[in-house]
Structure 1
Amino acid sequence: MNLPNDPVILLSYVNTLLRDEYPSFEELCKSLCVPEEDISSKLSSIGYVYDPNSNSFR
C-alpha cells in the first residue's frame, strides 16, 4: 500500500487508522506490510512519536 508522502497527511491517516481499526501501531504496520521505522521516522521529523497509552502519534 502506498502511504501519503506528506508527513502531516500521514499523521492524520495513521492516527485515523489507529483510532478506528487497529489496537496498536505494531498491528497497523504488520497489516500494511510497512516497517514501523518507516512511519516513525517520517512522523518524528515533524515532532510526533507514538504513544501506546493513547494508541496515537502525539
Structure 2
Amino acid sequence: MMSLANFKNMDPFILLSAVNMQLRDEYSSLDELCATNDIDKNELTEKLKVAGFEYNSEQNQFR
C-alpha cells in the first residue's frame, strides 16, 4: 500500500488513485483514513479539489 505521508508533494492523479484504493480496500470513510494516517482532511480534500476531484461519501471515493 502506498504511504500517504507525503501527500502534499504527490502528483494529484497518483494521490487520487492511492486514496481511492485505500478507501475501497481498507477504510470505511475518509475520516477513518485521515485519522489512521494522521492526515489533515481539509488539506487532502483541497489538494484533490484543485485537481477537479471531490469526495462522495455515499460511494466512499473521490470523483
TM-score range, shorter chain: over 0.9
2:33 to 28, 34, 44: 28
Unaligned residue ranges in structure 1 (runs of 5+):
none
Unaligned residue ranges in structure 2 (runs of 5+):
none
Alignment of 1:1-58 (within 5 A): 1-3=5-7, 5-58=10-63
TM-score, reference length from structure 2: 0.86
Q: Structure 1 residue runs of 4+, over 4 Å off?
A: none
The size of the alignment, in residue pairs, is 58
Identity of matched residues, %: 43
RMSD: 1.0
1:5-41 per-position Cα deviation (integer Å, ceiling 9, x unaligned): 1101000000000000000000000001011011101
